[in-house]
Amino acid sequence: MIEIKGVHKSFGDLEVLKGIDLTVNRGEVVSIIGASGSGKSTLLYCINAIESINKGNIIVDGIDVHDKKTDINALRQNLGMVFQQWNSFPHLTVLENAALAPQVVKGFSKEKAEAIATKELTHVGLGDKLHEYPTKMSGGQQQRLAIARALAMEPPYMLFDEVTSALDPELVGEVLDTLRLLRDDGMTMICVTHEIAFAKEVSDKVAFFHEGLIEEIGTPQEVLDNPQKERTQQFLSKVL
C-alpha cells in the first residue's frame, strides 16, 4: 500500500504540492490527470524520492520514504518508474538495459538477470530485439524497453509519468497496450496521464489535480463521466 499524507513540496518560492492525501492499495490502478504544472509528475518523483518533500509523509508498505534512516536504494527496488522521456541507456543493448539492475542492484547472476530480462522484454513484445541498441529503435519500442527494464526488478508498484506524451501519435497505442497488459497482470500502478480515455478504461480510481491539490477523486465514472467540481468539468471539456 502507498499512503500519501499531507504532502507539500516547493521548488524555491513556488509551492507545487499543497497538501496531497492519496492511498493506493495493492492491485489498484490509479490515474492522475490535470493540467500541466498541477503537480502530477512532481508527486510521482516524490514517491520514489527522486525529489524531496517539505512536509507530510509518504509511506510505502509501512516504510517512510523520506525518513533519513530509510535505505532509499532498497525501497526504490519496489517502485518501478517509467519516464516521459524513456531514458534508455544508449551504450547498452536492449537485453543489457533490462538485465543491468537485477545484476548490480539485486546481485543476481548474469544468467538469472538475463533470464528475467528476457522474460519481461518478451512480455512487452521486444523478444526479437534483445541484442539491438535502443538508439536504433522507435520511441514506442524504447518506451516499452523502459517498462520492461523497470519490471525486471520485479517491483510490486509501478509509477508511470506521462509515458505516452513524448511519443508520435501512431506509437501511443503500443505503449498503452503494454500498460493494459500490466493491469491484467494485477500490477499496482499510478499513471500520470493525459490519455483520458485510457484512464477511464483501466483505472480503479482517478484523481484530478489542480494547482497542487486533489480537486476531485473517485471512480472513473464519478470523476470523468459525472464530475461534481466546476474545475474538473472545465478541464474535461477542454481535453475531451
Give contact residues for another protein (rule: CB under 8 A): 45, 48, 50, 73-74, 76-77, 79-81, 83, 85, 87, 89-93, 100-101, 104-106, 133, 135, 146, 149-150, 153
Question: What is the residue whose three cell numbers read 519496489?
Answer: 78
The three-state secondary structure class of 196 is helix
Q: Kindly report the length of the chain.
A: 240
Distances, alpha carbon 194 to alpha carbons 75, 166, 182, in Å: 28, 11, 19
CB 209 within 8 A of CB 32: yes
Conformational region of residue 130, where left means phi above 0, alpha means psi within -120 to 50, and beta covers everything else: alpha
Which residue number, 157 or 198, has a Cβ lying nearer to another protein? 157
Which residue number, 39 or 102, has a Cβ lying nearer to another protein? 102
Q: How many CA atoms lie within 13 A of 62 on its CB side?
A: 0
Which residue number, 128 or 225, has a Cβ lying nearer to another protein? 128
Q: Report in angstroms how near the CB of residue 227 gets to another protein at its nearest.
A: 32
Q: Report in angstroms how near the CB of residue 77 gets to another protein at its nearest.
A: 4
Which residue number, 45 or 59, has a Cβ lying nearer to another protein? 45
Q: Report in angstroms how near the CB of residue 229 gets to another protein at its nearest.
A: 33
Q: Phi and psi dihedrals of 123, rounded to 5?
A: -60, -40
The neighbour count for residue 192, using CB atoms within 10 Å, is 26
Q: Report in angstroms how near the CB of residue 207 gets to another protein at its nearest.
A: 21
Q: Report in angstroms how near the CB of residue 216 gets to another protein at its nearest.
A: 29
Which residue number, 166 or 217, has a Cβ lying nearer to another protein? 166
Task: Give the DSSP per-residue string, 33-66.
Answer: EE-TTSSHHHHHHHHTTSS--SEEEEEETTEETT
Which residue number, 53 or 224, has a Cβ lying nearer to another protein? 53
Q: Report in angstroms how near the CB of residue 78 gets to another protein at its nearest.
A: 9
The neighbour count for residue 10, using CB atoms within 10 Å, is 15
The residue type at 51? E
